[in-house]
Chains A and B, each alone.
Chain A
Amino acid sequence: MDAATLTETRKITYDDAVVRGFVWASVGWGLIGMLVGLLCALQLSFPALNFDIPWLTFSRLRPLHTNAVIFALVGNMMFAGIYYSSQRLLKTRMASDLLSRVHLWGWQAIVLGAALTLPFGITQSKEYAELEWPLDVLVVLVWVAFAANYFWTLAIRNEKNLYVSIWFYISTIITIAVLYLVNNLAVPVTMTKSYGVFSGAQDALTQWWYGHNAVAFFLTTPILGIMYYFLPKAADRPVFSYRLSIVHFWALVFIYIWAGPHHLLNTALPDWAQSLGMLFSLMLWAPSWGGMLNGLLTLRGAWHKVRTDPVLKFFVAGVTFYGMATFEGPLLSIKSVSALAHYTDWIIGHVHGGALGWNGFMAAGMFYWLVPKLFGVKLRSTLLADLHFWIGMTGILLYVASMWVSGISQGLMWRAETADGGLVYNDWSAILTSQQMMYATRSVGGGLFIIGWILMAWNLVATARAGRAVTVETEVTVLRTAPLPGEPTVPQLVFSKPVIFSALGLVAATAFAMPNIGLAVVGLVTLFVIVAFSAGMLFRSTRVGKHTWHGLIEARPLAFSVLTLVAVLIGGLFEMLPGLITDKQVPLASNGQMCVQPYTALELTGRDIYVREGCYVCHSQMIRPFRSEQIRYGAPSRIEESMWDHPFQWGSKRTGPDLARIGTKYNEAWHWDHMGDPRMVVLNSIMPAFPWLYDRKAEAGIAVEKMNVLRKLGTPYAEEQLINAQADYEAQAATVVANLASQGKTGADPESEIVALIAYLMRLGRNLEPASQQAAAIEGGK
Chain B
Amino acid sequence: MLRQLLANTSLFSLPVLATCIFVAIFLAVLLRVSQRARAPEYRRMSSLPLQDDSERRDQP
Instruction: Judge: A and B partners, yes or no.
Output: yes
Contact with A along B36-60 (1 / 0, CB 8 A): 0101111101111110111111111
Interface residue ranges of A160-196 to B (CB < 8 Å): 161, 163-165
**Is B18 a contact of A469 with CB atoms below 8 Å?**
no
**CA–CA, A520 to B55, complex, Å?**
57
Stretch at the interface among A61-69, A418-426, A470-478, A703-711: A470-478
Instruction: Count chain B residues whose beta carbon lies closer than 8 angstroms to a beta carbon of A.
Output: 40
Contacts known (A89-B48, A541-B39); A470 close to B58, Cβ less than 8 A: yes
Contacts known (A244-B30, A524-B18, A532-B25); A469 close to B60, Cβ less than 8 A: yes
Separation in Å of the B38 CB from the closest CB of chain A? 8
A51 on the B face (CB < 8 A): no
Query: CB-CB < 8 A to B55: which residues of A?
Result: 472-474
Q: Which 8 A-B pairs have the closest CB atoms?
A: A286-B26, A243-B33, A238-B46, A242-B46, A244-B33, A88-B52, A242-B42, A474-B55
Enumerate chain B interface residues (CB-CB to A < 8 A): 6, 9, 11, 14-15, 17-19, 21-23, 25-26, 28-30, 32-34, 37, 39-43, 45-50, 52-60
Query: What are 5 of the A-B contact pairs (CB < 8 Å)?
Result: A242-B37, A244-B29, A472-B55, A515-B11, A524-B21
**Is B32 a contact of A539 with CB atoms below 8 Å?**
yes
**CA–CA, A285 to B60, complex, Å?**
48
Query: CB-CB < 8 A to B54: which residues of A?
Result: 474-475
Contact with B along A548-572 (1 / 0, CB 8 A): 1001001000000000000000000
Partner of A535 from the list B25, B39, B43, B53 (CB cut-off 8 Å) is: B25
Partner of B29 from the list A468, A527, A535, A541 (CB cut-off 8 Å) is: A535
Query: CB-CB < 8 A to A89: which residues of B?
Result: 48-49
**CA–CA, A85 to B49, complex, Å?**
8
Interface residue ranges of A35-75 to B (CB < 8 Å): none
Add 7 more A-B contacts to A242-B43, A287-B26, A524-B17 (CB < 8 A): A89-B48, A163-B45, A233-B53, A241-B37, A290-B26, A376-B57, A473-B57
**Is A232 a contact of B39 with CB atoms below 8 Å?**
no
Query: CB-CB < 8 A to B41: which residues of A?
Result: 161, 546-548, 551
**Is B14 a contact of A243 with CB atoms below 8 Å?**
no
Query: CB-CB < 8 A to B11: which residues of A?
Result: 515, 517, 520
Nearest to B54 among chain A residues (CB) is: A474
Contacts known (A238-B50, A376-B57, A472-B57); A551 close to B22, Cβ less than 8 A: no
**Is A163 a contact of B48 with CB atoms below 8 Å?**
yes
Query: CB-CB < 8 A to A161: which residues of B?
Result: 41, 45, 48
Contact with B along A244-264 (1 / 0, CB 8 A): 100100010000000000000
Query: CB-CB < 8 A to A472: which residues of B?
Result: 55-58
**Is B25 a contact of A531 with CB atoms below 8 Å?**
yes
Separation in Å of the B6 CB from the closest CB of chain A? 5
Partner of A473 from the list B23, B42, B56 (CB cut-off 8 Å) is: B56
Interface residue ranges of A485-536 to B (CB < 8 Å): 512, 515, 517-518, 520-521, 524, 527-528, 531-532, 535
Nearest to B47 among chain A residues (CB) is: A238
**Is A546 a contact of B39 with CB atoms below 8 Å?**
yes
Contacts known (A244-B33, A472-B55); A546 close to B15, Cβ less than 8 A: no
Query: CB-CB < 8 A to A91: which residues of B?
Result: 52
Nearest to A287 among chain B residues (CB) is: B26
**Is B59 a contact of A376 with CB atoms below 8 Å?**
yes
Contacts known (A286-B26, A528-B21, A546-B40); A239 close to B46, Cβ less than 8 A: yes
Query: CB-CB < 8 A to A535: which residues of B?
Result: 25, 28-29
A283 on the B face (CB < 8 A): yes
Query: CB-CB < 8 A to B60: which residues of A?
Result: 468-471
A616 on the B face (CB < 8 A): no
Instruction: Count chain A residues whose beta carbon lies closer than 8 angstroms to a beta carbon of B.
Output: 61
Query: CB-CB < 8 A to B56: which residues of A?
Result: 472-475
A695 on the B face (CB < 8 A): no
**Is A290 a contact of B30 with CB atoms below 8 Å?**
yes
Query: CB-CB < 8 A to B9: which residues of A?
Result: 517, 521
Query: CB-CB < 8 A to B29: which residues of A?
Result: 244, 247, 290, 535
Nearest to A236 among chain B residues (CB) is: B50
**Is B48 a contact of A241 with CB atoms below 8 Å?**
no
A306 on the B face (CB < 8 A): no
**CA–CA, A554 to B48, complex, Å?**
13
**Is B25 a contact of A279 with CB atoms below 8 Å?**
no
**CA–CA, A520 to B14, complex, Å?**
8
Nearest to B39 among chain A residues (CB) is: A548
**CA–CA, A285 to B26, complex, Å?**
10
**Is B49 a contact of A233 with CB atoms below 8 Å?**
yes
A229 on the B face (CB < 8 A): yes
Query: CB-CB < 8 A to B14: which residues of A?
Result: 512, 520, 524
**Is B22 a contact of A232 with CB atoms below 8 Å?**
no
Query: CB-CB < 8 A to A283: which residues of B?
Result: 19, 22
Separation in Å of the B30 CB from the closest CB of chain A? 6
**CA–CA, A637 to B46, complex, Å?**
52
A282 on the B face (CB < 8 A): yes
A730 on the B face (CB < 8 A): no
Query: CB-CB < 8 A to A554: which residues of B?
Result: 45
**CA–CA, A233 to B26, complex, Å?**
28
**CA–CA, A517 to B11, complex, Å?**
7
A441 on the B face (CB < 8 A): no
Interface core residue of A515, A539, A554 (most chain B CB under 10 Å): A539
Partner of B49 from the list A163, A251, A282, A474 (CB cut-off 8 Å) is: A163
**Is A241 a contact of B33 with CB atoms below 8 Å?**
yes
Contacts known (A243-B37, A512-B18, A528-B21); A471 close to B46, Cβ less than 8 A: no
Contacts known (A244-B33, A282-B19, A471-B58); A517 close to B46, Cβ less than 8 A: no
Query: CB-CB < 8 A to A527: which residues of B?
Result: 18, 21
